[in-house]
A and B are shown apart, each in its own frame.
Chain A
Amino acid sequence: RIYPLMRVTLTTSDGASVTVSRQLTKHSGFIEKAITDMAVDDNAVPLSAVAVDVDDATLKLVIEWLTEHRDDALPYPEKTDEERRADDIPAWDQAFVQKWDTKEDQQQTLYAVITAADKLDIKGLLDMTCKTLANKINGKTVEEMREILQLECDFTEEELAEIRKENAWCEN
């Protein structure tokens, strides 16, 4: 049972600490497991701090997202391959991402949030941010994908020739 008023202190990788409601942290598999592992009575307040391997700035974004999504259903519904679609990101989430996913940022924050969502095991946030990234490369050519993702071609000439042969059967 989760007591809504119960609060959890998180310490970030840069030493800052922030205290949040258990209502938010219940969406993080990592934090929930850490609390369970402490084997303390749920009524014991305050809890010892949970150390998270996420920096302060990213954690602030994570908490902002968790605050909006505090009433989301748990466990996060698993989608089948057929049900999966990238165009169903809620409007609030889209606006949330747009605030910091700017051209200057070069998706650095997006990668940081994806990594944080993975480390903290927040499935909804991971799903949403991965969709956001997928939407950026959806329908793009190889060259455009490389540019968006800041990648360089690391194939040898021979490998490229082999790929061209195999891709010869991909027509549109």
Chain B
Amino acid sequence: AQISFLNYFNNRRSSSSSKDSEMGPILELPDDILIIIFENLSTIERVPLGSVSKKFRRIDFEMGKRSFDKLQVEMTDDSNKIEAYTTSSGYYSLEITPDGRFGNFIPKFFKDATASGFFLQVGKNREGPSAESVSLLFHSLSCETLYINFDSSTDFSHFLLRFFTNERKSDLKTLYLHWESLKSQDSNRLLVAFLQLPNLEFLGLMNPDEIEEPIEVVKDDDPLSFGLNGSMMLHVVSTALDCYLSSIHCTGEELLCAFEIVCESNLDSKKAKLEVLDSAADDLFDLAHAKEKFQIVGRILFDYTRGYALAALDNTKDATGRCTCVTMFKIDANGDPVDL
């Protein structure tokens, strides 16, 4: 029995002499079937597809969903490139040119793509349009772990701030920032933007010179290793409704200031959990003692004058034994926490 599908195709073949008629029967398949076929190929196995024919090229880009092990963007003096490594042996390398020639290609190629790790390194002399390329990449890509290292003298923090304020990427779970990048102007606001990422579990600091130093910031109940000085801590406390920062390098005065921020807040659920050096916690109580508006009972600090608030010291110390956890939250007239 002759197959009608073939009849159709053979008829087309014999009745037409155009180049189109020489095309194989695979082109008769609907797009969604071609997608099912191509989905069986890995990112690296898909590489030749885009060069086979126009239809393949269109579908390959429409499918998107390329998956990479590691994506590395370097914008430094020596190199200006994107490198994408796949799980198998292959890897891609792309020069980012200032003229933005690949402006269309990047969002097309990285459509709905995933990368386990994204490394972003920005040196002093980066070119303007490159930030746009990174923005396009960030936008199309989903990744769990992001490593950022940019020269603090550039305005890259400004770009990052704008991007992460507009786009609360829900795929990001782990974020590392290089210590040096914290010296930039926007670092406080940048940290707050990072801490507001909905699914961030870990915010870490890359500090190759002082790896031994216990510096951590914690969000919710998941420890985020990070390094914060007092002014950054205050910025986070005043912005975030609930923060849990650990191993903060601050003074007792700054700690008292954080307590004042919680007291002043008209939000019942305002909370801050701060892990500080023992000496800073001791200073907090000494300073509070000197001021009449506070009451101190044991290792608990009350403020009944403006609303109710409480700062409690938790004696659990970290492994080094030099840190104390100070918890600050609102209490009601009975002394119970307003928001548990």
Which A positions have Cβ atoms within 8 angstroms of B?
13-14, 55-58, 81, 84-86, 107-109, 111-112, 114-115, 118, 126-127, 130-131, 133-135, 137-142, 145-146, 149-155, 159, 163, 166-167, 169-172
Contacts and interface: CB of A to CB of B under 8 A. Distances in A.
Contacts of B94: 169
B186 interface: no
B1 A14 contact: yes
> Nearest 4 CB-CB pairs, A to B?
A150-B24, A134-B40, A169-B94, A86-B40
A118 B28 CA distance: 13
Contacts of A84: 39-40
A55 B3 contact: yes
11 contacts: A13-B4, A14-B1, A81-B65, A111-B29, A114-B29, A126-B33, A138-B40, A146-B52, A150-B23, A154-B23, A167-B50
Contacts of A150: 23-26
A166 B105 contact: yes
Interface residues of B, number: 50
A138 B48 CA distance: 10
B10 to A, nearest CB: 9
Given A118-B33, A166-B105, A169-B94, A111 B26 contact: yes
A167 B92 CA distance: 9
Nearest to B30: A118
A163 to B, nearest CB: 6
A109 B3 contact: yes
Contacts of A163: 50-51, 57
Contacts of B45: 138-139
Interface in B67-114: 67, 82, 89-95, 102, 105, 109
A57 B1 contact: yes
A3 B89 CA distance: 52
Contacts of A172: 44, 89-91
Given A151-B27, A170-B47, A172-B90, A112 B3 contact: yes
